[in-house]
Structure 1
Amino acid sequence: MIALQLSFLLVILPACLQAARILAIFPFPGPSQYINVVPYLKTLASRGHQVTSINAFPQKKPVHNFRDIPIPEVFDNYNDIINELNDPMTVWEENNFINKFFVNVTRSVLTNKEVTETLLPPGKDHYDLIIVEALRSDAYYGFAAHFNAPIIGISTFGTDWNIDELVGNVSPLSYIPLVTAGLTDRMTFGERVTNFVETTIAWLNYRFVHMPEQEKLYEKYFPEASRRVPLTQLNRNFSLVLLNHHFSLSFPRPYVPNMIQVGGLHISHKPAPLPMDLNNFIQGAGEQGVIYFSLGSNVKSKDLPVERRELILKTFASLPHRVLWKFEDDKLPGKPSNVFISKWFPQPDILAHPKVKLFITHGGLLSTIESIHHGKPVLGLPFFYDQFLNVKRAQQAGFGLGLDHKTMTHEEFKGTIERLITEPQFANTARQMSERYRDQPMSPLDTAIWWTEYVLRHKGAYHMRVAGQDLGFFAYHSLDVVGALLGGAILIIAVSTFVVWKIAKLAGCGKTKLKLQ
């Protein structure tokens, strides 16, 4: 009943709210990030708002109230960059690599011809709201100052210390692991040391290597705005951050009021019918069922080392189950008859099918959320960034297992698959997590739309901002207070010691004089 009432409110809101002009910036070249937000942006457009979207994947068919500004430049050398992630790196080198990548993405946005001609000239255009992918691209947050508009961030992987700083949130290092560390909220002392050290390194690299580059871009492309608002103030002035996360998907943690969990806002709650050839292949699997295997949009199965690919083929050929494999070439040499390959699959619709027994995944957050939504156990083969953390969470929660794709043997791969399919606790846990995740008063998409329009109705909703957004690092962590108290304590001890020493000295001198008399 509550959900129906809330949905009714969402329907009548357009009549109560003036249509807004919205600029959305989602230029990341990996399609999964944009897949996550497209339903949200299209829904805003369907409600009368004029949406301009800067992205790498423009719509194939025109959408009413929706304008694309394509950024094909972000694909330059993208595959080479992804392959570099397999090279061994220190924590500092890994952060250098990630931050350099995002500086290049930011530059691609700000140098794009349509952007420079239609958005950057002062007075050329106007927008009421800026929505950005809040991922280490601080310079284009300058559009908020440029148009004097509130800004909403969307984080497609949840939050970390960097996202926290946008809204003054806190992530205690004692139980909130760094996204790239592959740890859980239940850390040993040694893991907490690792988490502290790696988070500190990431923060130092961002603050002293990455931010100066972003500040140069901000000052170059937003000269007028940069004179009014420094970037360090701008990236602490977010009205709202929408997180592709939910506590039922992982572990509970603190959030300030303007951090809203909308994990899975891209998922349709009504699975579409599968194409005939795909449906026939799945239906023909019998009681053994089907395994779905996909490494996502950034990692391509066709680029796996030959030795790894042959190991996977050998394993699939030895199984009684049928396998759907997202493979980016038309042909797969040595493909067994129980394997169906395609360059693209309707992943949520496949996971919704009752005959699908297991999802072998790279561990991306969108894939993890989809597996939980549809109650499927997972075998994680993580490659980079938050994938290690997501697979670790699946293991901790009990609905999945993980392997190292670089070192796993045929026996390990096959044995883990068989265990996940035959041992009922994995499927049971996945179903329980699905029930918890689905038990929400509003769908994630409706929640995102409601809070977005809340920001519009209340002119930025700055009353939701915590005071921590206005504090510097030392004040936020009370390091200035600790320093003052320590300094005061040291001063008191020093003065007290001096006074005691002086009294003792004087007392000693008095005794000497009495003896001389």
Structure 2
Amino acid sequence: MLLRRVLGIFLLVTSGGECAKILGVIPTGGKSHHFVGASYMKLLAKAGHDVTVIAAFPEKNAPKNYRNIELTGVVEAMFEQMGNPFDFKDVSPLLNTVLIYTTFGKFSSEYTLNHPNVQRLMNSGETFDIVIVETFLTEAIYGLAQHFNASLITYSPFGSSLWTAELTGSPTPTSHIPNSWLYYDDKMTFYERLWNVVLNWWDNLLYRGVHLPSQNAIYRKAFPNAQITFEQQMRSVSLVLLNDHFSLGSIRPYSPNMIEVGGVQIEDVKPLPKDIGKFLDEATDGAIYFSMGSYLKSTDLPRAKRDAFIRAFSQLKQRVLWKFEDDTIPQKPDNLLIKPWLPQNDILAHPNMKLFITHGGLLGTTEALFHGKPTVGIPIFGDQMMNVRRATRLGYGTLLDLNDVTEQSVLAVIDEVLNNTRYSETVRLISQRYHDKPMTAKQTALYWIEYVIRHRGASHLRSPAVELAVVEYNQLDVLSVLVLIMGVIVFVSFWVLRFACRKLRAPSIISNKKID
């Protein structure tokens, strides 16, 4: 541990070699997305780079070399666009892809590029060395790289997907890589593999036929004097950073410019506020932390479900911390402490914390694994079901469907995870694997970003696959020619055989006539 910290300090001080001007773009109004993007930006600022960040949430107490450009109004506009996220729980994957590609992607790109603060920056005459953009259906925003004559780096708020594979030419075999909109992990049944293939076809059809043309139109409107086309900008990505790690998820094939930095948002543990620290320190029977994340709100839970949780918590000997966005809960039991905001990473690090009840978001799941805490997952939408299913399969957590939430079911899953030692043992093992690496997630991210800076875009990392059309990449043209050749061979063989058969039959017919 000491050696790794010394290495980290060494990298922070020496790895850059030069100060770069960096523009970071965090276009979505979701705090979980912001936490990931802001982690990269703060990391680069601490390393001495000149950092400008377009984001919905300005960084408080930012260093002098960190400039905020606020995307005012994006949070309110996003919530108006998306509505209540609990309504998406039972939406089918087919419909979900339609909704995402036709609404969210277009909204994020247009809102960001048309924002007055962004327009002022674009017209300022400034240049940057690197532009770092979140890749979450935001391809048109990549155009800021060519606008500022900069190299382009993107980061994914979760793991690999169709969008990241498209940028790097990385293969995504459907036999063991589930589609991002499905609730599968990497161990799929025949039925799941069949459905995975179908949804991948559907996903590709919408992505290429609906989403990318829409992003291209936004790109051309925002950058009428662009020196390169939308497609060329897509192929120019120097690096893709993934918020994933093989020890926490699935093994996948990556191109050299796809780098796993799962847990990059995890900060050093800080002292807890006095009231929370006292509450947990005195939890002699252990404590449970309950949060539905930054986008979902516990106050939006159906009333019957909320009351079921409260009744169940009142019967526990453990203390419960609940991120609840209201100051009061009627008939709140004494072992329950509610707060509209809680320092999640610091809470999960507390030795008395025994269980994390979560919506299954990737950031919270990663933090729980980092600190070795088992989970109960209540997934609602997005990748949450996939994360919870992975926890269930690997044995560090279990699933509680929101539709099945009752006082009895809540008590049952809590009892199962707290009193069955396999959960705590498994999560401890996975945590050890995650920590056993030469560099932390932050050190890895810093190294590779500065690698791109040092090598002026590091074009040598890019796979030649990004230059290939879909037909060429999938060898459809070659397969077509081979099928045609085989068809010709079969056709010619058939007629040769037919001609030979006629020749063989002809003497027999003649001899029969002579005998007659």
- TM, length-normalised to structure 2: 0.94
Residue 224 (structure 1) shift: 1.7
**Is the alpha carbon distance of 1:8 and 1:458 closer, same or farther for their aligned partners in structure 2, counting shifts above 3 Å?**
same
Residue 331 (structure 1) shift: 1.3
User: What pairs up with 1:75-90 in 2 under 5 angstroms?
Assistant: 75-80=75-80, 81-83=82-84, 86-87=87-88, 88-90=90-92
Asked if the contact 2:93–2:181 (Cα under 8 Å) also holds between the matched residues in 1, the reply is: no
Which whole-Å CA distance do the structure 1 matches of 2:464 and 2:499 have between them? 47
Q: Does 1:67 align with 2:70?
A: no
Q: Deviations over 1:438-468 (max 9, x none)?
A: 1111111011001000001001111111111
Task: Tell me which residue corresponds to 2:472.
Answer: 475
**Is the alpha carbon distance of 1:510 and 1:220 closer, same or farther for their aligned partners in structure 2, counting shifts above 3 Å?**
farther
Asked if the contact 1:376–1:430 (Cα under 8 Å) also holds between the matched residues in 2, the reply is: yes
Residue 382 (structure 1) shift: 0.6
Task: Tell me which residue corresponds to 1:161.
Answer: 162
Alignment RMSD (CA, Å): 1.9
Task: Tell me which residue corresponds to 1:91.
Answer: 93
Task: Tell me which residue corresponds to 1:197.
Answer: 198
Instruction: Tell me the percent identity.
Output: 40
Asked if the contact 1:312–1:410 (Cα under 8 Å) also holds between the matched residues in 2, the reply is: yes
Residue 230 (structure 1) shift: 2.6
Task: Tell me which residue corresponds to 1:244.
Answer: 243
Q: Paired residue for 1:456, among 453, 477, 480?
A: 453
User: What pairs up with 1:383-398 in 2 under 5 angstroms?
Assistant: 383-398=380-395
Residue 189 (structure 1) shift: 0.5
Q: Does 1:367 align with 2:364?
A: yes
SS of 2:456 mapped into structure 1 = coil
Which whole-Å CA distance do the structure 1 matches of 2:298 and 2:283 have between them? 23
User: What pairs up with 1:94-105 in 2 under 5 angstroms?
Assistant: 94-99=96-101, 100-105=103-108
Indicate the larger mover: 136-145 or 364-373.
Answer: 136-145
SS of 1:152 mapped into structure 2 = strand
Asked if the contact 1:168–1:236 (Cα under 8 Å) also holds between the matched residues in 2, the reply is: no
Q: Deviations over 1:193-229 (max 9, x none)?
A: 111112221111111111121111011011121xx43
Indicate the larger mover: 412-421 or 144-153.
Answer: 144-153
Which whole-Å CA distance do the structure 1 matches of 2:11 and 2:55 have between them? 31
Task: Tell me which residue corresponds to 1:277.
Answer: 275
Which whole-Å CA distance do the structure 2 matches of 1:391 and 1:277 have between them? 31
Q: Deviations over 1:462-483 (max 9, x none)?
A: 1111111111112112222212
Task: Tell me which residue corresponds to 1:301.
Answer: 298
Q: Paired residue for 2:403, among 388, 402, 406?
A: 406
Residue 70 (structure 1) shift: 1.1
Asked if the contact 2:26–2:54 (Cα under 8 Å) also holds between the matched residues in 1, the reply is: yes
SS of 1:324 mapped into structure 2 = strand
SS of 1:61 mapped into structure 2 = coil
Which whole-Å CA distance do the structure 1 matches of 2:216 and 2:250 have between them? 35
Q: Which runs of 5+ in 1 are unaligned?
A: none
Task: Tell me which residue corresponds to 1:46.
Answer: 46
Which whole-Å CA distance do the structure 1 matches of 2:410 and 2:180 have between them? 26
Indicate the larger mover: 346-355 or 502-511.
Answer: 502-511
Residue 77 (structure 1) shift: 4.3
Asked if the contact 1:382–1:405 (Cα under 8 Å) also holds between the matched residues in 2, the reply is: yes
Asked if the contact 1:157–1:244 (Cα under 8 Å) also holds between the matched residues in 2, the reply is: yes
Which whole-Å CA distance do the structure 2 matches of 1:137 and 1:124 have between them? 23
Which whole-Å CA distance do the structure 2 matches of 1:405 and 1:231 have between them? 42
Which whole-Å CA distance do the structure 1 matches of 2:63 and 2:259 have between them? 27
SS of 1:139 mapped into structure 2 = helix
Which whole-Å CA distance do the structure 2 matches of 1:222 and 1:424 have between them? 58
Indicate the larger mover: 152-161 or 31-40.
Answer: 31-40
Residue 82 (structure 1) shift: 4.4
Which whole-Å CA distance do the structure 2 matches of 1:159 and 1:168 have between them? 12
Q: Paired residue for 1:117, among 120, 137, 141?
A: 120
* AA at the equivalent of 2:271: P
Asked if the contact 1:37–1:265 (Cα under 8 Å) also holds between the matched residues in 2, the reply is: no
Which whole-Å CA distance do the structure 1 matches of 2:283 and 2:42 have between them? 37
Asked if the contact 2:245–2:262 (Cα under 8 Å) also holds between the matched residues in 1, the reply is: yes
Q: Does 1:443 align with 2:446?
A: no
* AA at the equivalent of 1:479: L
Task: Tell me which residue corresponds to 2:347.
Answer: 350
Asked if the contact 1:167–1:237 (Cα under 8 Å) also holds between the matched residues in 2, the reply is: no
Asked if the contact 2:15–2:447 (Cα under 8 Å) also holds between the matched residues in 1, the reply is: no
Which whole-Å CA distance do the structure 2 matches of 1:431 and 1:365 have between them? 18
Q: Deviations over 1:149-200 (max 9, x none)?
A: 2211111111112211111111211011122311111111111111111222
Which whole-Å CA distance do the structure 2 matches of 1:403 and 1:90 have between them? 19
Q: Does 1:422 align with 2:419?
A: yes
SS of 1:40 mapped into structure 2 = helix
Which whole-Å CA distance do the structure 2 matches of 1:508 and 1:229 have between them? 69
Asked if the contact 1:392–1:402 (Cα under 8 Å) also holds between the matched residues in 2, the reply is: yes
**Is the alpha carbon distance of 1:84 and 1:273 closer, same or farther for their aligned partners in structure 2, counting shifts above 3 Å?**
closer
Asked if the contact 2:37–2:134 (Cα under 8 Å) also holds between the matched residues in 1, the reply is: no
Asked if the contact 1:161–1:170 (Cα under 8 Å) also holds between the matched residues in 2, the reply is: no
Task: Tell me which residue corresponds to 2:262.
Answer: 263
* AA at the equivalent of 1:193: L
Asked if the contact 1:135–1:163 (Cα under 8 Å) also holds between the matched residues in 2, the reply is: no
Which whole-Å CA distance do the structure 2 matches of 1:6 and 1:282 have between them? 31
Asked if the contact 1:7–1:446 (Cα under 8 Å) also holds between the matched residues in 2, the reply is: no
**Is the alpha carbon distance of 1:499 and 1:224 closer, same or farther for their aligned partners in structure 2, counting shifts above 3 Å?**
farther
Indicate the larger mover: 435-444 or 78-87.
Answer: 78-87
Q: Which runs of 5+ in 2 are unaligned?
A: none
Task: Tell me which residue corresponds to 2:36.
Answer: 36
Asked if the contact 2:86–2:296 (Cα under 8 Å) also holds between the matched residues in 1, the reply is: no
**Is the alpha carbon distance of 1:11 and 1:170 closer, same or farther for their aligned partners in structure 2, counting shifts above 3 Å?**
same
Which whole-Å CA distance do the structure 1 matches of 2:104 and 2:288 have between them? 34
Q: Paired residue for 1:107, among 90, 105, 110?
A: 110
**Is the alpha carbon distance of 1:9 and 1:307 closer, same or farther for their aligned partners in structure 2, counting shifts above 3 Å?**
closer
Residue 145 (structure 1) shift: 2.2
Q: Deviations over 1:7-42 (max 9, x none)?
A: 42441234x32x111111111111111112323211
Which whole-Å CA distance do the structure 2 matches of 1:279 and 1:84 have between them? 32
* AA at the equivalent of 1:79: F
Residue 72 (structure 1) shift: 2.3
Which whole-Å CA distance do the structure 1 matches of 2:191 and 2:235 have between them? 32
* AA at the equivalent of 1:64: K
Which whole-Å CA distance do the structure 2 matches of 1:161 and 1:85 have between them? 25
Asked if the contact 2:12–2:47 (Cα under 8 Å) also holds between the matched residues in 1, the reply is: no
Which whole-Å CA distance do the structure 2 matches of 1:446 and 1:362 have between them? 29
Residue 102 (structure 1) shift: 1.8
Asked if the contact 2:71–2:117 (Cα under 8 Å) also holds between the matched residues in 1, the reply is: no
Residue 349 (structure 1) shift: 0.5
**Is the alpha carbon distance of 1:74 and 1:5 closer, same or farther for their aligned partners in structure 2, counting shifts above 3 Å?**
closer
Asked if the contact 2:105–2:211 (Cα under 8 Å) also holds between the matched residues in 1, the reply is: no
**Is the alpha carbon distance of 1:126 and 1:142 closer, same or farther for their aligned partners in structure 2, counting shifts above 3 Å?**
same
Residue 335 (structure 1) shift: 1.6
Residue 76 (structure 1) shift: 3.3
Indicate the larger mover: 197-206 or 355-364.
Answer: 197-206
